[in-house]
């Protein structure tokens, strides 16, 4: 988890990295030539982060992909990622109904003399997020040492939020909103993504990729949906027959 000062400068740089890489690639593109070998299958495994700035959630984790290429210009595949991080839940993030519920609780506590003056509710939450995606990816293979690709990003996101109350009032709120001690939800996300494979040999490449998606997890609790950036980097392994022939 990045601290707030480091994240302020690091997140924009990391989120912009794929576009900077693509700009560099197009600048050097005229010096490159078309690929002569395209494998039937590919596997990717590497580091990933998910950044959801609306809820101040930054997660680090693992990303894996497997694909098959019916043609040189497109592939079909499966995509999975798992990551974890922390966020801070505050009343302004909650739905009006939940805010009203909290307001009633605070009035009762105030009337009983149990609400400290100037009290502000802050609940740290640990998040574990998994994404599941399947679908097409379009590739541009005009260059011998790199492949550019784009894809729709449509799938499911599953998240487990575990709140950690740090005072008696927050403990009451957590007990009301998440009686089991955690909150779990699964929903659909949609967006787009893309990236580049830097080709070192017929069978090994370095993949750098990013996706921007939208979802609304915990719509019974959180007022707004959120945009999430996923950035991944790691080795890609190509194998199988040459479908260029």
CA pair distance 214, 154, nearest whole angstrom: 10
Summary mean pLDDT of the chain? 88
Instruction: Rounding to the nearest 10 degrees, give the CA dihedral for residues 80, 85, 89, 93.
Output: -40
* 55 touches 17 (CB < 8 A): no
pLDDT at 118 (0 to 100): 85
Q: Which residue is associated with the tokens 């690639």?
A: 25
Percent of all residues in the chain with a pLDDT value above 70, rounded to a whole number:
87
User: Class of 4-71+82-242 per CATH?
Assistant: mainly beta
Res 139 pLDDT > 80: yes
3-state secondary structure at position 229? strand
Beta-bridged to residue 49, according to DSSP, are 60, 231
pLDDT at 24 (0 to 100): 53
For 149-181, the pLDDT digits (tens) are: 999 999 999 999 999 988 999 998 899 888 999
CA pair distance 9, 35, nearest whole angstrom: 38
For 11-46, the pLDDT digits (tens) are: 555 555 555 555 555 544 544 567 889 999 999 999
pLDDT at 9 (0 to 100): 46
CA dihedral sign of residues 131, 62, 213, 90: positive
Res 140 pLDDT > 70: yes
* 74 touches 138 (CB < 8 A): yes
Q: How far is CA 103 from the centre of its chain?
A: 33
Res 68 pLDDT > 80: yes
What residue segments make up the domains of the chain, in order of their start?
4-71+82-242
For 78-101, the pLDDT digits (tens) are: 999 999 999 999 999 999 999 999
Mean pLDDT of 189-216: 96
CA pair distance 160, 70, nearest whole angstrom: 36
């Amino acid at each position: 988890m990045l601290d707030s000062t480091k994240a302020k400068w690091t997140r924009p740089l990391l989120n912009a990295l794929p576009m900077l890489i693509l700009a560099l690639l197009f600048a050097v593109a005229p010096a490159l030539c078309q690929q002569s070998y395209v494998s039937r299958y590919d596997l990717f495994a590497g580091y990933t982060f998910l950044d959801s700035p609306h809820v101040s959630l930054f997660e680090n984790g693992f990303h894996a992909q497997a694909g098959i290429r019916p043609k040189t210009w497109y592939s079909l595949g499966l995509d999975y990622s798992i990551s974890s991080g922390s966020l801070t839940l505050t009343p302004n993030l909650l739905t009006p109904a939940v805010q009203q519920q909290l307001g009633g609780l605070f009035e009762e506590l105030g009337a009983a003399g149990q609400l400290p003056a100037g009290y502000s509710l802050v609940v740290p939450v640990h998040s574990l997020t998994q994404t599941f995606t399947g679908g097409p990816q379009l590739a541009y293979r005009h260059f011998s040492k790199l492949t550019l690709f784009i894809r729709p990003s449509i799938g499911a996101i599953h998240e487990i939020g575990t709140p950690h109350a740090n005072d008696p009032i927050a403990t009451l709120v957590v007990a009301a909103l998440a009686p089991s001690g955690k909150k779990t939800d699964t929903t659909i996300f949609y967006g787009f993504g893309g990236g580049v494979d830097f080709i070192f040999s017929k069978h090994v490449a370095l993949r750098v990729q990013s996706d921007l998606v939208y979802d609304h997890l915990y719509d019974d609790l959180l007022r707004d949906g959120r945009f999430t950036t996923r950035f991944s980097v790691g080795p890609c392994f190509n194998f199988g027959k040459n479908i260029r022939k």
